[in-house]
């Protein structure tokens, strides 16, 4: 569903990432600051990724390349 680097912005984006167990990276000012992990849960203000809580207003959340690559491989197998 998401391509590498897709930026999660809306609550629906985060809900989909959680439902699909997406790997999410954390970015600030155009630089990768944390590899993140699997999106787990969210509220209107924060998201839990890999067991840690991050405030949405502090980061840009992007689907990692690893997840997108795995999804592409699954499509090819089907």
Domain ranges for the chain = 7-77
Q: Is the pTM of this model over 0.75?
A: yes
CA distance 30 to 9: 15
- Residue 53 contacts residue 47 (beta carbons within 8 Å): yes
pLDDT at res. 65: 73
Q: For residue range 48-60, what is the model confidence (pLDDT) as tens digits?
A: 999 999 999 999 9
Domain 7-77 belongs in CATH node 1.10.287:
no
């Amino acid at each position: 569903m998401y391509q590498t680097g897709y930026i999660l912005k809306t609550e629906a984006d985060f809900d989909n990432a959680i439902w699909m167990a997406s790997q999410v990276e954390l970015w600030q000012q155009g630089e990768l600051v944390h590899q993140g992990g699997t999106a787990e849960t969210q509220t209107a203000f924060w998201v839990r990724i890999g067991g840690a809580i991050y405030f949405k207003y502090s980061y840009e959340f992007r689907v990692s390349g690893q997840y997108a690559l795995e999804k592409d491989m699954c499509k090819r197998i089907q």
